[in-house]
Structure 1
Amino acid sequence: MSKARKVLVIGGGAAGNAVTILLRRAGITVDLVEAKDDWNATAGSGITLQGNALRVLRELGVWEQVEASGFGFGSVGITAPDGTVLHAHDDLRTGGDDLPATVGMQRPRLQQILIDAVRAGGATVRVGTTAEILDQDADGVSVRLSDGTEHRYDLVVAADGLGSRTRAAIGITDKPEPTGMAIWRIAAPRPAGVTRTDLAYGGPAYIAGYCPTSETTLYAYVVEANRDRASIPPESYADEMRRLASSYGGHWPEITEHITDPAKVNYTWFDRLLVEGSWHRGRVVLVGDAAHCCPPTLAQGAALSLEDAWVLAQMLTGTDDWDDALFQAYYERRITRVRPVVEASVQIGQWQLDGVRDADVPGLMGRTMTMLRELP
């Protein structure tokens, strides 16, 4: 690439941060705007990063910090509701044999690592700021920021999440749809015996699980059918999660003792989104949750978003021709990988909602994760 370029990235989550880091490394001028005043006001308590996510984080130059901050492990256990371990199996190393199969992390810690890398890369960052697309032509996009300034960019990358205002503004009408499930999450101290993810199926919830996130912490979660959020006052969140979790054995009684503060409990519906046809309109292109979202049944949401950023940055820095053909090629390269993951993630949840007892969950998971070992 020989031309001087200027890019606006809308959204400072995983995908937006990753594409900013990579484009700045290539010498491209990048402005990043984040709507939240607190850039690290990260919802949720923990995150499960599988190998293909770690592979991108290594490309971003932050793997050593992630490794030091998280908890790596290589297996998953299946338990009965009383805590009896029924089966344990090794996780596939989707990022290659030189990376762990899985790293659990506290979400705010991962976000801070990426924020620091963005700032170190020299991008111009504006927090508490939104962006409005004014118009565009074959050469670029005119944008007005909420601080009243107007700017011209060669490209706008919309990384503004599941409820992306930019997606709607450029005429893409796809919207997220609930799958019928919801999840309660909390961060808690890690019992010494928790050294991997364990999942209990059955009991009062569909799934009760936990993932170690450091030497001293974990995040725990309980999945149930979604409920009208208006019927669950936030001050009852701890009581509701504790009620569900108290029916599980093994390490759960020790974890449940810490489900006391409703402000530390996160309640979220599972959603599905997959934008078809293309992920761009002119010089505005979608990445991450703005283009696709799936339930965390395969723990691939962040990984797919990071992969989007990596692939898009590779393609942008490999040519001077930022045109429809390039952005369509980006979509076609990503959709063949993203669609099977979204569909499998939704299917696993639907089998549970439908009470299907003989579903081949291990087979579907194995096929999907094997695909993800290939480079995106």
Structure 2
Amino acid sequence: MNEARKVLVIGGGASGNAMTLLLRRAGVEVHLIEARDDWNATAGSGITLQGNALRVLRELGVWEQVEASGYGFGSVGITAPDGTVLHVQDDIRSGGDDLPATVGMQRPRLQQILIEAVRASGASVRLGTRAESLDQDAGGVTVRFTDGTEDRYDLVVAADGLGSTTRSAIGITAKPEPTGMAIWRVAAPRPAGVTRTDLAYGGPAYIAGYCPTSETTLYAYVVEANRDRASIPPESYADEMRRLTSAYGGFWPEITETVTDAAKVNYTWFDRLLVEGSWHRGRVVLIGDAAHCCPPTLAQGAALSLEDASVLAQMLTAADDWDDALFQAYYERRVARVRPVVEASVQIGRWQLDGVRDADVPGLMGRTMTMLRELP
């Protein structure tokens, strides 16, 4: 890359922040816009980061902060609904042997670490701002913003999430589809004995699990068949989650008694999305959830999004020409890795919905995570 170039990144989540950091490191002028005024700084409860996500966070230069803020562990426990531990399985170190297999983290803390890094990178950041129109020609993209301003870019990277308005604006018609499951999540104090993720299958929910996110916190979740969101008043969220979790033993009674604030409970449907054919139109390219999304049954959503940013940044900084051939090569490289993860994540949920008792869930998880040990 020999000439000075300017890139617009739409969306300040994990993939957009990562894209911004990597392009700034390469000397590219980057403008980042984020629709939310608060830059998503307080959104979410917890996040499970597998090794391949940690590998990209190390590339971004924030691994030491992540390590200090999160909770690393290397195994997952399978329990009966009453809390009896049935099996403990070592996690595959998908980021390599020099990184933990898994780090649990409070999602707002991860976002704050990335925000601080973006601020320090010298990128131009505008919050509460959206792209109103994108007009392309052979040389670039003219973008008009909701604040009435306009600017010209060599490339636009759409990292604006599952409901991406950029995706539809450039004529990609793919939309997320519900898989039939939904998840309740809440941040809670960590009982002293919780040192890894434990998953209980069965009981009133398909899955009840938790993940330590620091020395003092965890996030807990239960997965059930999705319900009409309108039928669940937000003020009842804590009651609904407590109703589900109260049937579980082990550490669950201690966790359940802290689920009292409905505002801290999140309810989300599981969705599936995989844009086919290409992830670009002209000089507008999709990354992260704007291009693909899968249920969190393999905890790979953030990891795949971070990998997108890493791969696209590598390809952009190594290329003289930012053209269709480059963007198509990016798609083909990524879709070969993303597709099996999306399909495996959906399949695990489908087996549960269909009541398949002899499904080889551990085998499918193992094969998928082993594949992810390879560099993207």
Number of residue-to-residue matches in the alignment: 376
Find the counterpart in structure 1 of residue 282 from structure 2: 282
Find the counterpart in structure 1 of residue 224 from structure 2: 224
2: CA distance, partners of 1:241 / 1:312: 39
Find the counterpart in structure 1 of residue 38 from structure 2: 38
Find the counterpart in structure 1 of residue 103 from structure 2: 103
Q: Deviations over 1:252-280 (max 9, x none)?
A: 00000110000000000000000000000
Find the counterpart in structure 1 of residue 291 from structure 2: 291
1: CA distance, partners of 2:355 / 2:43: 30
- Residue 42 of structure 1 and its aligned partner are, at CA, apart by 4.5
Query: What letter is aligned with 2:211?
Result: C
Q: Which 10-residue stretch deviates more, 94-103 or 142-151?
A: 142-151
- Residue 125 of structure 1 and its aligned partner are, at CA, apart by 0.1
Q: Do the aligned partners of 1:33 and 1:126 also contact (CA within 8 Å) in 2? A: yes
Find the counterpart in structure 2 of residue 172 from structure 1: 172
- Residue 134 of structure 1 and its aligned partner are, at CA, apart by 3.2
Find the counterpart in structure 1 of residue 245 from structure 2: 245
Find the counterpart in structure 1 of residue 335 from structure 2: 335
- Residue 41 of structure 1 and its aligned partner are, at CA, apart by 4.0
1:70 maps onto 2:47 in alignment: no
- Residue 338 of structure 1 and its aligned partner are, at CA, apart by 0.1
Q: Do the aligned partners of 1:185 and 1:222 also contact (CA within 8 Å) in 2? A: yes
Q: Which 10-residue stretch deviates more, 95-104 or 131-140?
A: 131-140
1:194 maps onto 2:194 in alignment: yes
Q: Structure 2: where are the runs of 5+ without partners?
A: none
Q: Could you tell me the percent identity over the aligned residues?
A: 89
Q: Do the aligned partners of 1:199 and 1:210 also contact (CA within 8 Å) in 2? A: yes
2: CA distance, partners of 1:138 / 1:353: 48
- Residue 43 of structure 1 and its aligned partner are, at CA, apart by 3.2
Q: Do the aligned partners of 1:19 and 1:313 also contact (CA within 8 Å) in 2? A: yes
Q: Do the aligned partners of 1:46 and 1:105 also contact (CA within 8 Å) in 2? A: yes
* Counterpart secondary structure, 1:93: coil
Query: What letter is aligned with 1:126?
Result: R
- Residue 135 of structure 1 and its aligned partner are, at CA, apart by 1.1
Find the counterpart in structure 2 of residue 206 from structure 1: 206
1: CA distance, partners of 2:351 / 2:143: 45
1: CA distance, partners of 2:23 / 2:320: 14
Find the counterpart in structure 1 of residue 116 from structure 2: 116
Q: Deviations over 1:101-126 (max 9, x none)?
A: 00000000000000001010000000
* Counterpart secondary structure, 1:218: strand
- Residue 40 of structure 1 and its aligned partner are, at CA, apart by 2.8
1:346 maps onto 2:346 in alignment: yes
* Counterpart secondary structure, 1:203: coil
2: CA distance, partners of 1:12 / 1:341: 24
- Written as runs of structure 1 = structure 2, the 5 A alignment for 1:290-329 is 290-329=290-329
Q: Do the aligned partners of 1:46 and 1:107 also contact (CA within 8 Å) in 2? A: yes
- Residue 139 of structure 1 and its aligned partner are, at CA, apart by 1.2
Query: What letter is aligned with 2:367?
Result: R
* Counterpart secondary structure, 1:355: coil
Q: Deviations over 1:188-242 (max 9, x none)?
A: 0000000000000000000000000000000000000000000000000000000
Find the counterpart in structure 2 of residue 86 from structure 1: 86
Find the counterpart in structure 1 of residue 185 from structure 2: 185
- Residue 44 of structure 1 and its aligned partner are, at CA, apart by 2.2
Q: Deviations over 1:52-80 (max 9, x none)?
A: 00000000000000000000000000000
TM score, norm. by length of structure 2? 0.99
TM score, norm. by length of structure 1? 0.99
Q: Do the aligned partners of 1:133 and 1:141 also contact (CA within 8 Å) in 2? A: no
Task: Let me know the Cα RMSD of the aligned residues.
Answer: 0.6
Q: Deviations over 1:264-300 (max 9, x none)?
A: 0000000000000000000000000000000000000
Query: What letter is aligned with 2:300?
Result: Q
Find the counterpart in structure 2 of residue 371 from structure 1: 371
Q: Deviations over 1:118-157 (max 9, x none)?
A: 0100000000000123310121000001110010000000
2: CA distance, partners of 1:204 / 1:119: 45
Q: Deviations over 1:77-116 (max 9, x none)?
A: 0000000000001000000000000000000000000000
Q: Do the aligned partners of 2:41 and 2:112 also contact (CA within 8 Å) in 1? A: no
Query: What letter is aligned with 1:367?
Result: R
* Counterpart secondary structure, 2:222: strand
2: CA distance, partners of 1:145 / 1:159: 16
Query: What letter is aligned with 2:150?
Result: E
* Counterpart secondary structure, 2:175: coil
2: CA distance, partners of 1:40 / 1:7: 22
2: CA distance, partners of 1:62 / 1:21: 11
Q: Which 10-residue stretch deviates more, 61-70 or 34-43?
A: 34-43
1:3 maps onto 2:17 in alignment: no
1: CA distance, partners of 2:49 / 2:23: 23
